């Protein structure tokens, strides 16, 4: 059989190519452009090769925020994923209460980032915030996110958990609903314990939605910006200054476009790499 050669068909790929070019490639090329040159104005620019990359990779300020970032994202995943699964497992499946639960769960997801930051900024204040006042005056726990680094750090973590655990829970809930009843029946006949049902039926059937949940929560938390910025502006000290904020300060505050561009690319590659690792790790073992 001879294959029909029709190279005109390539034109059909053009719309997608243009779309991807405008959405990803061209903006990114601008960044690449900045990352290898030192640009002062329209007429004076110098090619610097990998200098900027070398510089940012040795910058202790970036090392610190990268480390903070990894610890933060790890905490987010370690709390939100198990908590989301637990909530999904305990949510009612039928009747009015299941609708009520779904609506309540959805509410945090609908609130914009900066509003969430503002809510918690006020909520946590020792003088007028319900949470801050309650902790300090009723439970007598000294809590002040504006002065104490670990308080600020924990607050940012709690904000994320409050804001996004619903997403994980809803994804898991949909995964659980897709399991036919007969699996549970068979498990009862096989006298499986609740743990065995979770381990061998629910968890495997939730795998694909959990993969989405892990990836989304990793990427989002790794790029967190607004909440710590609104809460304390990255402080106290640098305790809640995460990568994106460091980057913004570098690019817009100090106008160090070269190093900032280089770092953006490194940042991008880290997210890509970690996402790939998660994906491979979670889909590994599909084949026997």
Partner 1 sequence: MAEIRLQQLAHSYSANPAGPEDYAIREMTHIWEQGGAYALLGPSGCGKSTLLNIISGLLSPSEGKVMFDTTVVNDMSPEQRNIAQVFQFPVVYDTMTVYDNLAFPLRNQGMAEAKIQTKVQEIADVLDLQPLLKKKAKGLTADEKQKVSMGRGLVRDDVSAILFDEPLTVIDPHLKWKLRRKLKQIHEQFNITMVYVTHDQLEASTFADKIAVMYGGQIVQFGTPRELFEKPHHTFVGYFIGSPGMNLIEVKPETGGVGFGGIHLPLSQALQQRLADTKWSTLKVGIRPEFVHVWDGPFDDAMCADVTYVEDLGTYKILTLNLAGQSLKVRLQEDKPVPQGQAWISFPAQWLMLYADEFLLEAAHHVPASEVPHE
Binding site for partner 1 (CB under 8 A): 182-183, 185-186, 188-193, 196, 200-201, 204-205, 285-288
Q: How far is the CB of 282 from partner 1 (least distance, A)?
A: 12
Nearer to partner 1, 170 or 214 (CB): 214
Q: How far is the CB of 90 from partner 1 (least distance, A)?
A: 21
Q: How far is the CB of 91 from partner 1 (least distance, A)?
A: 23
Cα-atom radius of gyration of the chain, to the nearest Å?
24
- Looking at beta carbons only, is 107 or 189 nearer to partner 1? 189
What phi and psi values does residue 199 have, to the nearest 5 degrees?
-70, -40
> In this structure, what is the dihedral angle of CA atoms 221, 224, 226, 229, given to the nearest 10 degrees?
120
Question: Would you say 192 or 211 has its CB closer to partner 1?
Answer: 192
Least Å from the CB of residue 193 to partner 1: 7
In angstroms, what is the minimal distance from the CB of 192 to partner 1? 6
Spatial separation of the C-alpha atoms in residues 31 and 257, rounded to whole Å: 9
How deeply is 31 buried, as exposed, middle or buried, from its count of CB atoms within 10 A (0-12, 13-18, 19+)? middle
Q: Which residue's CB is nearer to partner 1, number 50 or number 93?
A: 93
Q: How many angstroms separate the CA atoms of 198 and 288, rounded?
A: 22
Q: Closer to partner 1 by CB, 102 or 179: give it.
A: 179
The DSSP call for residue 2 is: P
CB atoms within 10 A of CB 222: 20
């Amino acid at each position: 059989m001879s294959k029909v050669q029709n190279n005109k068909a390539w034109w059909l790929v053009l719309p997608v190519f243009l779309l991807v070019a405008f959405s990803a490639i061209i903006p990114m090329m601008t960044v690449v452009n900045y990352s290898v040159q030192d640009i002062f104005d329209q007429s004076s620019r110098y090619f610097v090769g990998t200098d900027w990359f070398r510089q940012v990779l040795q910058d202790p300020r970036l090392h610190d925020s990268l480390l903070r970032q990894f610890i933060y994202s790890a905490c987010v995943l370690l709390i939100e994923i198990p908590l989301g699964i637990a909530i999904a497992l305990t949510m009612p499946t039928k009747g009015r209460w299941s609708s009520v639960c779904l609506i309540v769960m959805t509410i945090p997801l609908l609130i914009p980032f900066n509003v969430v930051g503002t809510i918690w900024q006020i909520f946590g204040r020792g003088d007028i915030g319900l949470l801050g006042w309650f902790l300090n005056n009723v439970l007598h726990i000294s809590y002040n996110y504006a002065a104490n680094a670990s308080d600020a750090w924990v607050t940012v973590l709690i904000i994320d958990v409050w804001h996004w655990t619903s997403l994980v829970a809803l994804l898991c809930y949909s995964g659980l609903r897709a399991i036919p009843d007969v699996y549970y029946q068979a498990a009862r006949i096989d006298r499986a314990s609740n743990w065995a049902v979770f381990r061998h039926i629910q968890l495997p059937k939730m795998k694909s939605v959990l993969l989405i949940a892990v990836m989304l929560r990793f990427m989002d938390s790794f790029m967190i910006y607004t909440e710590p910025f609104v809460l304390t502006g990255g402080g106290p000290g640098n305790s809640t200054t995460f990568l994106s904020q460091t980057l913004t300060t570098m690019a817009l505050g100090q106008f160090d476009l070269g190093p900032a561009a280089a770092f953006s690319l490194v940042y991008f590659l880290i997210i890509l790499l970690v996402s790939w690792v998660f994906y491979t790790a979670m889909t590994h073992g599909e084949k026997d």
